[in-house]
Chain A
Amino acid sequence: MNLYTRMIVVLTVVGLISGACLSVVGLLTRERIELNRQKEIEEAIGTVVPGTKSYSAAVEEKDLTVYKAKGEQDNLIGYAVYARGTGFQDIITLMFGTDPDLDKINSLTILEQKETPGLGAKITDGQAFLQFWEDREINQGLTLRKPAVDTKEELASSEVNTITGATISSQKVLDIVNFSLEQVRSLKNQGKLEGED
């Protein structure tokens, strides 16, 4: 075999073998990865709308999914909104829960983010960030409190706290929430949230 054929054959074989290995690994892990994702969403819905017994997706769009969360008597107890948007570094995926009238946010949870470790990544930290998102009034839209305050009591009911040193990440999370809230509101006004039951 001359050199050129050998080069082509070796590279092809190496590529084929590794491709085969990867497709096997992909097949073996795909289900579990999808399952992990489902479980994560399920857990997140339970966190942001406490007392959820069952849920169903009312609207599914590219960067926005609205889940209807139902309580024991199969009554609507709130919406869990799954949203994606640009962060400081990369896409941030988050979920927040509202009451059925869209008057307030119960709480917020971050599902995926790649913000600066140690700074922006604190958006996943309950103590530093998420606790300041509990029970916020959203009728007027949320605003960011700058500079940051230490306790929740110092915030107005429609304010959320900034992370010191990570203003942009904090602002981006707020933007994603405000933007998706607007969309959810207009969907609700169009009656699209009640439609599919």
Chain B
Amino acid sequence: MPAKSIGQEYMKGLWAENPVFRQLLGMCPTLAVTNAVINGIAMGLATSFVLILSSLVVASIKKLIPNQVRIASYIVIIATFVTIADRFMAAFFPPISKALGPYVPLIVVNCIILGRQEAFASKNSVGRSLVDAMGMSTGFILALLLLSSIRELLGAGTFLGYQVLGEWFKPWIIMILPAGAFITLGILLGLALFIEMKTQRGRA
């Protein structure tokens, strides 16, 4: 792997290796919680917390963990941070915790987190892993924000709960249902691929 600058390490998470649009990881929360912008943001932030801290811990103890039990160790570490985030929110931000409900514990099974430990944090220095985790988090938050904005706007005519579209607009209920998530994600993925192909051709 050619050495990347710290800036490139961060930026790759935004587009070139965006966890949602390019790696297709973490599809479950992406599809499930993006029915409202506030849910998307809260989910993105909670996932970032877990991803960044897990990457830090895994990168610092990577040499101690035998290869055969690495996945089990990573999952225990990830689950610990998820539970901390869950309890912390329930204790200090009960309204947010209520709104997210079952989504927070589900961060444990988000593939982005385990994927980054396996693909990056277990092979790179602590500093680089931190930057990588931050880049991936930003990419994930942006993707959720994009998806949830489209779905909330078309599905409820609102943005962050505020009415944006006028009386004439009849909400497309399908957009806040799972089917709407698949449709939106499919179109966005196609679009991302299209842009990627166009820019590739331009470079060549």
Do A and B form a real pair? yes
Chain A interface (Cβ within 8 Å of chain B)? 3, 6-7, 10-11, 14-15, 18, 21-22, 25-26, 28-29, 32-33, 36, 40, 90, 112, 114, 116-119, 165
Q: Name B's interface SS.
A: helix
Q: Which among B36, B76, B88, B94 is the interface contact of A117 at CB below 8 angstroms?
A: B36
Residues of B within 8 Å of A90, CB to CB, are 102
B87/A25 in contact, CB under 8 A: yes
B73/A14 in contact, CB under 8 A: yes
Q: How far, in angstroms, from A26 to B39 measured CA to CA in the complex?
A: 25
Given contacts A7-B69, A32-B92, contact A119 B177 (CB under 8 A): yes
A14-B65, A18-B80, A33-B90 known, 6 other contacts, Cβ within 8 Å: A7-B68, A10-B69, A29-B91, A36-B94, A117-B35, A119-B177
Q: Which among A18, A29, A36, A40 is the interface contact of B88 at CB below 8 angstroms?
A: A29
Residues of A within 8 Å of B79, CB to CB, are 18
Ordered by A's residue number, 26 sampled pairs between the chains whose C-beta atoms are within 8 Å are A3-B68, A10-B64, A10-B66, A10-B69, A11-B69, A11-B72, A11-B76, A18-B76, A18-B79, A21-B84, A22-B84, A28-B91, A29-B91, A32-B92, A33-B87, A33-B90, A36-B91, A112-B98, A114-B101, A114-B102, A116-B177, A117-B35, A118-B35, A118-B155, A118-B177, A119-B177
Q: Is B185 an interface residue (CB 8 A)?
A: no
Q: Is B107 an interface residue (CB 8 A)?
A: no
Q: How many residues of B contact A (CB 8 A)?
A: 31
Chain B 113-153 near chain A by CB (<8 Å), digits 1 or 0: 00000000000000000000000000000000000000000
A25/B84 in contact, CB under 8 A: yes
Q: Is B188 an interface residue (CB 8 A)?
A: no
Shortest CB-to-CB span from B73 to chain A, Å, is 5
Closest to A36 in B: B94
Q: How far, in angstroms, from A114 to B102 measured CA to CA in the complex?
A: 8
Q: How far, in angstroms, from A17 to B88 measured CA to CA in the complex?
A: 18
Residues of A within 8 Å of B155, CB to CB, are 118
A25/B69 in contact, CB under 8 A: no
Q: How far, in angstroms, from A119 to B33 measured CA to CA in the complex?
A: 14
Q: How far, in angstroms, from A118 to B175 measured CA to CA in the complex?
A: 10
B77/A29 in contact, CB under 8 A: no
Q: How far, in angstroms, from A127 to B135 measured CA to CA in the complex?
A: 41
Closest to B94 in A: A36
Q: How far, in angstroms, from A32 to B93 measured CA to CA in the complex?
A: 10
B87/A26 in contact, CB under 8 A: yes
Q: How far, in angstroms, from A33 to B156 measured CA to CA in the complex?
A: 32
A7/B66 in contact, CB under 8 A: yes
Residues of B within 8 Å of A3, CB to CB, are 66, 68
A11/B156 in contact, CB under 8 A: no
Residues of A within 8 Å of B165, CB to CB, are none
Shortest CB-to-CB span from B117 to chain A, Å, is 13
A22/B94 in contact, CB under 8 A: no
Q: Which among A18, A26, A33, A119 is the interface contact of B173 at CB below 8 angstroms?
A: A119
Shortest CB-to-CB span from B80 to chain A, Å, is 4
Closest to B84 in A: A25
Shortest CB-to-CB span from B168 to chain A, Å, is 18
Given contacts A21-B80, A25-B88, contact A119 B66 (CB under 8 A): no
Q: How far, in angstroms, from A131 to B100 measured CA to CA in the complex?
A: 24
Shortest CB-to-CB span from B101 to chain A, Å, is 5
